[in-house]
Amino acid sequence: MTSATHAMPTGAGAVACELCSAAGGEIVFAHALLRVVLVDDALYPGFCRIVWQGHVQEMTDLAPAHRSLCMQVVCRVEQALRDVFAPHKINLASLGNQTPHLHWHVIPRFQADAHFPQPVWGPQQRTPDAAWLAAQRALLPQLRAAIAAQCATLGQ
């Protein structure tokens, strides 16, 4: 199921957790158990996040089949990013130190990006060229379609 809107989880922790009370970005794919969002980051067009719908903190809080589903989606989003953006590298991260709700960051990285070779949360190394960033943003419609295509065969 894909959707631009999706009901956010409610219940314990919903008010205190920003990923329970808000989408966390533009929803580009929604599943009963997780969502893929495109993060609005001016320096990182294509920055995606996979967010587990229920409020859990760690991968091991999930049943093995759900862990597998989550990682399948992480890999499918990575593949969509590779197909559309052809990045130098993909960064995958599941930190949750600031927001202890299970989510994965999937970030296309380029030697010309603001932080390369540092992590996107590290010291900025340069100001990216505006034309290059605009060209990256112009690929977002293709990325949305690629994520939908990659995730279309997932069961609900």
Q: Regarding the domain with residue range 18-151, which homologous superfamily does it belong to in the CATH classification?
A: HIT-like (3.30.428.10)
Q: How far apart are CA 117 and CA 94, in angstroms?
A: 19
Q: What pLDDT shows up at residue 8?
A: 46
Longest C-alpha distance within the chain, in Å?
Answer: 45
Q: What is the pLDDT of residue 98?
A: 85
pLDDT at residue 97 in the model: 84
Query: 10-residue block means of pLDDT along the chain (156 residues)?
Result: 40 68 94 96 97 94 96 98 98 90 97 96 95 97 97 82
What are the sequence ranges of the domains in the chain? Answer: 18-151
